[in-house]
Chain A
Amino acid sequence: SQKIEQNSEALNIQEGKTATLTCNYTNYSPAYLQWYRQDPGRGPVFLLLIRENEKEKRKERLKVTFDTTLKQSLFHITASQPADSATYLCALENFGNEKLTFGTGTRLTIIP
């Protein structure tokens, strides 16, 4: 069966360190993979999209990698700040399916 798993339900990181979140998938052949941020009581906000032929994508303090051999994406936040505390969701689509499927998310807390 198809699965999208995000490493842990919750992750605590010291301020200033790099936070690394993992998204593993099974029985998908995604053309793209997306990462979103969701704050409590609000809708997800798009952060980054990476294509299956791209190894890495960066945006300010954010970096995403995509390894189709390992079937894994890593999401990094460098120089983390308490304001980065939120739930982070990965989402992907099978080739030709045209439906975006989300993982359960990782709740990240940056400790001052």
Chain B
Amino acid sequence: ETGVTQTPRHLVMGMTNKKSLKCEQHLGHNAMYWYKQSAKKPLELMFVYNFKEQTENNSVPSRFSPECPNSSHLFLHLHTLQPEDSALYLCASSPQGGGSSYEQYFGPGTRLTVT
């Protein structure tokens, strides 16, 4: 295990539903990330939090809303999603923000299906 947990592991939701993804890291890291991974496409960075402050929003639609109440927890709130939002959503953490100077530790991901 990498020290990063994600729940739920699988989620099926309708386009009108509201749901939340949860990520928790037990590594004492200060930076946390949300990525989207779709088939045949590279990982797409969505949001970055460094010391609980959002430092990156990579042009993500407002139907995705992140929340970082403390350095150990990260949420992704979902509402009125589209079928093309179906993907593997990965959470990661690193000792602090700073791009590639620090390795990132990934959770197992949440497989999201929007019907």
Contact = CB atoms under 8 A, between A and B. Distances in A.
Interface of A: 4, 30-34, 41-46, 49, 89, 91-93, 97-105
Given A43-B107, A45-B2, A46-B103, A103 B42 contact: yes
B40 A99 contact: no
B110 to A, nearest CB: 10
Contacts of A34: 100, 103
Max count, chain B CB within 10 A of own CB: residue among A30, A102, A103: A102
B99 interface: yes
A46 B105 contact: yes
Interface of B: 2, 4, 40-43, 45, 48, 55-56, 58, 90, 92, 97-101, 103-109, 111
A32 B101 contact: yes
B98 A98 contact: yes
Contact of A98 (B90, B97, B111): B97
A100 B17 CA distance: 31
A30 B2 contact: no
Max count, chain A CB within 10 A of own CB: residue among B45, B90, B104: B104
Contacts of B48: 99
Contact of A104 (B41, B101, B103): B41
Contact of B104 (A46, A98, A101): A46
A90 B40 CA distance: 15
A44 B43 contact: yes
B43 A45 contact: no
A93 B108 contact: no
A45 B106 contact: yes
A87 to B, nearest CB: 11
B76 to A, nearest CB: 15
A105 B41 CA distance: 9
A30 B58 CA distance: 19
A43 B108 contact: yes
